[in-house]
Amino acid sequence: MLDFGKTMAATLHAGLIIYLIGNLGAGKTTFARGILHGLGYQHIVKSPTYNLVEIYKISRLYLYHFDFYRFNDYFEWEEAGFREYFNSDSICLVEWPEKAGDLLPVADLQLFFNMLETGRSVEIRVGTETGKQCLKHWKNQNNV
């Protein structure tokens, strides 16, 4: 999952919104960690479970890693200013997007994580033209 995240990092750019969907323990945070490492972030990548969001600045890029598992007050969304985080200067990775209901902007890519007997599987779905281009780029770079 770390390696997969690293390969994805090479194809990401500011403005992308990616949902990470799957049960607890399915590998969403590990994948996000791989992306951050791939982008050159060398420090510890914590799970945002308690803070709802962890913020990273990597040179000029902002990356926001959300986890809405504990999210239960929709008003909190506006009050916390989360809407502003989804902008053209930042990449947003969102665990448990379903908990934020329809407050979230549409995802460019949706990744569905599944636990197998050994390891994990990931299904990728495209939500926008930008997401389609991104996936195409990733496939070309990884000979998929």
Ligand X SMILES: Nc1ncnc2c1ncn2[C@@H]1O[C@H](COP(=O)(O)OP(=O)(O)O)[C@@H](O)[C@H]1O
Positions that interact with Mg ion (CB under 5 A):
28-29, 47
Residues near ligand X (CB under 6 A) are 1, 22, 24-30, 95, 113, 119-120
Long-range contacts: 119-128, Cβ < 8 Å, 24+? 120/1, 120/26, 120/27, 122/4, 122/27, 122/31
Closest separation in Å from C-beta 31 to Mg ion: 9
Judged by beta carbon, residue 28 or residue 90, the one nearer Mg ion is 28
Judged by beta carbon, residue 29 or residue 110, the one nearer Mg ion is 29
Name the token pair of 80.
């916390």
Cβ-closest residue to Mg ion?
29
Name the token pair of 75.
């008003």
* Alpha carbon distance 27, 2 (integer Å): 9
Residue 48 interacts with, from ligand X, Mg ion, none (CB under 5-8 Å by kind) = none
Name the token pair of 32.
């996000």
Judged by beta carbon, residue 7 or residue 47, the one nearer Mg ion is 47
Residue 30 interacts with, from ligand X, Mg ion, none (CB under 5-8 Å by kind) = ligand X
Pairing of strands 17-21, 53-58: unpaired
Closest separation in Å from C-beta 16 to ligand X: 19
